[in-house]
Amino acid sequence: MGPDHPQKEVYYESKHGIAFLAFKDKLNMDSSKWIVGEDYSAAPTCATCHMSAVAGRPGTDEEPPIRALPVTHDVGMRISWNNRPAISVRPEDSDRKMGLPGADVDWRTRRANMKSVCLNCHESQWVDNFYVQYDSLIELYHRKFAKPGLELYDLAKPLMRPVNFANKLDFIWFELWHHEGRRARHGASMMGPDYTHWHGTYEIAMHFYIKFVPELEHLIEKGKTSGDPQKIAAAEALAAKLDEVLNSEDHRWYLGRMDPAEQERRKQAAEEFRKRYEK
């Protein structure tokens, strides 16, 4: 729980957590084997998805087979993204860095494991659609904010005090990826729409535009007028990158340069929305 990994909060706002609270007494929790699909199907808990055993089942014409899984205490074995760093990585890569045996377990295997859990309660198309949405959120966050944000932050370093967290920009960037950026990704990974959007992407965007960019502009201005040739060069490099980022497809609306066709599409969508809900 908390601002940087709110899984408990995400779960309780998701339909899974709501169903758990509503149907706790129907989950057969006294069963010692407690296998999803056999002992219960009304709602999954944290353990259902991340740890508990799953019974296997052969495939049918419509549905793929379900692979049987034993109980595990290695909670990384059903997770296909590690969303802790500023830019998400595959779990086998972080396991390799830490010298863990999980280095040999590809993210596709881990995702297939998790799908075996979901398939006890949902059709495969429902589950596949979930993963399309989840991956799309990660990709959007990477492309629009995390990758350019990290590049800009690194270019700003020569213009700041050398000690980490002695600068305003250190805190702004830290909260962007470590709080809001994680909340958006964690919210999407466990079906918590409020955490994905209002505590996630909304806050990332707001702080990127009203805190991060203005602070970069301030550092550029200070560097350019410092009289120090090294700082002037660093300020110019940062200014060029900021210019490139803000003029990219994702951000040029901010400069009032949105593609006119896109602007028109959004205007129409807004009108349709208004018409539908005006009544």
Binding site for ligand HEC (CB under 6 A): 7-8, 11, 15-16, 19, 36, 41, 43-46, 48-50, 79-84, 111, 114, 117-118, 120-122, 127, 130, 186, 189-191
Contacting residues for 162 by C-beta, under 8 A, at least 6 apart = none
* CA atoms of 38 and 128, how far apart (whole Å): 23
| 114 versus 219: smaller Cβ distance to ligand HEC | 114
Quote the CA–CA distance of 123 and 254 in Å, as a whole number. Answer: 41
| For ligand HEC, the closer CB: 79 or 159 | 79
Residue nearer to ligand HEC on the CB measure, 113 or 167: 113
Q: Which is nearer to ligand HEC, 76 or 158 (CB)?
A: 76
Q: Among 80, 77, 67, 83, which residue's Cα sits nearest to residue 108?
A: 80
Distance of alpha carbon 110 from alpha carbon 30, whole angstroms: 28
Nearer residue to ligand HEC within complex by CB, 79 or 239:
79
Q: Which is nearer to ligand HEC, 41 or 226 (CB)?
A: 41
269 contact partners, CB below 8 Å, separation of at least 6:
none
At its nearest, how many Å lie between ligand HEC and the CB of residue 90?
Answer: 9
Of the two residues 74 and 157, which places its CB atom closer to ligand HEC in the complex? 74
- Rounded to a whole number of angstroms, the minimum distance from the CB of residue 82 to ligand HEC is 5
Longest dimension (CA), the chain: 74
User: Tell me, what amino acid is at 189?
Assistant: S
- Which burial class, exposed, middle or buried, applies to 205 when counting CB atoms under 10 A from its CB (0-12, 13-18, 19+)? middle
CB of 262 to ligand HEC, least distance (A): 28
| Range 116-136 burial, b when 16+ CB lie within 10 A, else e | bbbbbbeeeeebeebeeebee
Q: Whole-angstrom distance between the N-terminal and C-terminal Cα of the chain? A: 40
Which amino acid would we find at residue 128?
D
Look up residue 159 and give its two tokens.
């213009």
> How far from the centroid of its chain's Cα atoms is residue 51's Cα?
22
Q: Are 246 and 213 in contact (CB under 8 A)?
A: yes
